[in-house]
Amino acid sequence: MNAPADIPPLDLMDRYYLAKGPCCAGCDFWRSETPRWGRCTRGAPIERGIVFDLGGDGCHEMLLTYPRTVRSWWCGGFRDAFDWTLLGVPLPPWRKQSPDPTDPPF
């Protein structure tokens, strides 16, 4: 699926999330880098090794970065605290309008 150039990336993520349901694209912890990939900021950064070639002398450097995920991924840490009704967006059936006081707290 190629994204139209005139649609802002955040709008593309919102449309994908509202059409698919809970996933990284709609999570408060996820930061998109491209229309398909992003980084999850829910946990602590992880170390990622980078090797540079310096004319025969290799150099290894450890960088701290957040894990990269695809927008369709969904983990147990998903959170969407945004009130979509503020934008006048009709909520899909999988999204509750308001918390049910009879729901258990877990």
In a domain, 62, yes or no: yes
In a domain, 15, yes or no: yes
In a domain, 82, yes or no: yes
- Write down the pTM of the prediction: 0.66
Domain that holds residue 62: 9-87
Q: How many domains does the chain have?
A: 1
**What local confidence, expressed as pLDDT, does residue 11 receive?**
85
In a domain, 69, yes or no: yes
In a domain, 96, yes or no: no
SS (H, E, C) the chain: CCCCCCCCHHHHHHHHHHHHCCCHHHCCCEEECCCCEEEECCCCCEEEEEEEEECCEEEEEEEEECCEEECCCCCCCCCCCCCHHHHCCCCCCCCCCCCCCCCCCC
pLDDT-above-90 percentage for the chain: 17
In a domain, 40, yes or no: yes
Which amino acid makes up residue 77?
A: G
Q: Which pLDDT tens digit goes with each residue over 55-75?
A: 555 565 667 788 889 999 988
**What local confidence, expressed as pLDDT, does residue 70 receive?**
92
- Comparing 13-17, 50-54, 68-72, 80-84, the range with the smallest average pLDDT is 50-54
